[in-house]
Amino acid sequence: MIRFALVTDSKTCLKFKEVLAKCAKDCQTQIAVDCFATSNDVASDYKSNWDVIIFDCNVKNSDCFLSAKYIRSFDENVKFCFVSPSLENALLGYSVQASCFWINPLHSDTILHDLRPLVKSLVESKAEFLKAHTEYGVQKLALNEIVYIESMNHRLIVHTKTAEYTLKSTMGAVEELLVDKGFFRCNQGYLVNLGQVKGIEGDFALVGNTKLAISRGKKKAFLNTYNDFVDWIA
């Protein structure tokens, strides 16, 4: 999960949300967004769990660079991006270690081009792992690399983007570890990474390049959870 705070007007906020939804899909991660009307609002209600703050210098009653300087004084890790009407403010932006600096008018392709590597680097730095006892010994499997986990003949097969691993555990134990990390069981035999679900086709979930059956008993809960997950990203 990568968390953004946006200081901008409601129209621009929607534009950024659309770009961030595409960015989340490209980077195969989740992005949460909080919007603020002024830079003082984000500074006074500052939360250290934000990864990126985007300041729109066109917003009225805001001194974005002063707010960024204040936040930087106690948070060295948060990333700053600025939208400015001119290049004159570029030095102010980089004085607080800005990661991105955009000049009006905004172009979605440019924003996406700049944010994609930033988000990817944040995903890599925050990568979570499943410590797995496999036939090769103990291995760390990155959660964002897992497509789905299959129960077969009293063993678990972990299907990742590049390989398969046999896991010495039970589906119930693994589900308990991963249920709050974007994984959900579509039937008794499959625990899927919701970030890898490309869509729903009738009674099947298209997970990666594989169709997995959704059981009748779990279909409603699975669809609700998947829809909430997609809304969360957007």
Distance in angstroms (rounded) separating the CA atoms of residues 57 and 102? 10
* Range 151-170 average pLDDT: 89
% of the chain surpassing 90 pLDDT: 66
Give Cα 95 distance to the centre of its chain: 27
Tell me how many degrees the CA angle 206-170-195 measures, rounded to the nearest 5: 30
HSE-CB at 182 with a 13 A cutoff on CA atoms is 24
Q: Judge whether 2-125 and 129-233 match in fold.
A: no
> What local confidence, expressed as pLDDT, does residue 231 receive?
63
Domain boundaries, the chain: 2-125, 129-233
Q: At 109, list the tokens.
A: 């392709």
* Range 98-123 average pLDDT: 95
Q: What is the pTM of this model?
A: 0.62
Closest CA to 196 of 12, 53, 14, 24: 24
**Strands 190-193 vs 146-152: parallel, antiparallel or unpaired:** antiparallel
Distance between start and end Cα atoms, the chain: 12
Distances (CA, A) of 82 to 9, 17, 51, 150, 210: 14, 16, 14, 45, 41
* 118 contacts 138 by C-beta, under 8 angstroms: no
Name the residue type at position 205: A
Query: The domain 2-125: what is its CATH number?
Result: 3.40.50.2300
Render pLDDT for 117-129 as a digit per residue (tens, 0 to 9).
999 999 888 778 8
Q: At 22, list the tokens.
A: 């595409």
Distance in angstroms (rounded) separating the CA atoms of residues 216 and 121? 39
> Residue 47: what are its φ and ψ, rounded to 5°?
-120, 125
Helical segments of 35-161, H only: 39-44, 64-72, 90-94, 108-125
Query: The domain 129-233: what is its CATH number?
Result: 2.40.50.1020
* Range 5-25 average pLDDT: 94
pLDDT of 16 > 80? The answer is yes
* Range 108-122 average pLDDT: 96
* 193 contacts 183 by C-beta, under 8 angstroms: yes
**Strands 52-56 vs 79-84: parallel, antiparallel or unpaired:** parallel
